[in-house]
Each structure stands twice: as C-alpha cells, then as structure tokens.
Amino acid sequence: MTIYVIRHGETALNAKAIMQGWLDEPLNQSGRDLAEITGQAMKGIHFDRCISSPLIRAKETAEIVLRESGNDIPIDVDDSIREINFGDLEGRKLSEMGETGLLFYTDPFHFSGFPNGETIQEVCERTQRFLKKLIEQDDGQTYLIGAHGCALRAMLNFLYQDPSDFWRGHAPYNCSVSIVEVKDGNPRLVAEDKVYYDQSLIVDRYKGELNR
C-alpha cells in the first residue's frame, strides 16, 4: 500500500502571506502550473483512489495531478483533512498576533491556538485519525491525498523521526509530496516534501515569517 500526500498549489492568499485556513480560495496561475508539472512528473503512477480535503485549492490540485498523470478516477472528500482553522485570523496575517503568533512556528505544541480556531494538537488528532484508519486497511492500493501545509505536517507527525519537531525546518512547499509505504500494517515515510518542479520555484514562507 502506498500513500502520496500532496500539499495544494499556490493561491493568491498564499502569495500575500495571508492565513486562509478554512477560507475556500482557488489556486492562482502559479499554483495550477506547479500542479501540472507535478502531475506530468507522476505519469506512470497508477492511483486507485484519491481523497481530498473539501477545500477547493486541495481538490483542484488533486484534479490537475490526476489529469496530468493519466489517472481518470473520482475524488472523494473528507472533512478531517482540511486545513487548520485559524479562527479570527482567517483572511489576515499571522504577524498581526505579534510574538504570540510567532509561537505557531517556533513552538507550535505550546501555542495556545487561534481565537475561535484550533490548536496544533486538535489538528493532529483529526488528521491522524484519518491516516491511521487508512493504514489499518492495508489494502495494497495506491492513494493520492490532497491536503494542506499544517494539516499535512499534523497528519504525518507520528511518522517523523522526531515528532517534537513539528515543522521540520519549513512548512511543506506548494505541491510538495510526501510518500508513505505500508507493509503488513506498518507505515514508513519513504519521501518527505518531494518537489517535482525546479527548486528555484520553491517559496519558503516559513522562513519569511521567522525573519519578519
């Protein structure tokens, strides 16, 4: 069983460093371009199933990747893998929270969460519940999972060598892919934040927030 987890392509709010969370923002042209390149590079991979966050940026990314990779399969949606809820900060910049907001990146497990939103622990619980249920099936199939930056980190946290290091030095890049192989019910992370496009196109907004 193989599980490919992809972060969505860039959106206009991404480009402005605005926290979108549950806002339903579509991909911009750059996001669509990166999804196309990624899908073309994944030709030859046969996906049996695709499950996506219901948010349009994740679904649109999955649609493009499936089309460009030659996989004509439907996309199922699952609410449990949508992005973290930024609550009152949705549509605003993290910098508006000052030093408190900076903890989201520097010490996320001790960050108290967003007003009327979620904590990192809550996102870990719902996304890992989804992934562990999938792993338990161990059905030998190949899955494409359309997700988000924080949700992806939360989902895979228990598979990282050091789970206390939540962000792994950076947020997942747009259209980066992490790959989980499952054998006899045992999952193993075999690729982390793999990009299929030229690395000069990578935008590291995590470091941008730390250096603001």
How many Cβ atoms are within 10 Å of 123's Cβ, its own excluded? 26
Q: Which residues are catalytic?
A: 8, 83
Domains contained in the chain, CATH given: 2-210 (3.40.50.1240)
Q: What is the pLDDT of residues 113-141, one digit of tens each?
A: 999 999 999 999 999 999 999 999 999 99
Q: What is the pLDDT of residues 6-19, one digit of tens each?
A: 999 999 999 998 99
> The whole model's pTM is what?
0.95
State the pLDDT at residue 102: 87
Phi, psi of 142, deg, nearest 5: -110, 125
Paired strand residues for 187: 182
Q: What is the pLDDT of residues 143-199, one digit of tens each?
A: 999 999 999 999 999 999 999 999 999 999 999 999 999 999 999 999 999 999 999
Burial of 96 from C-beta contacts in 10 A (0-12 / 13-18 / 19+): exposed
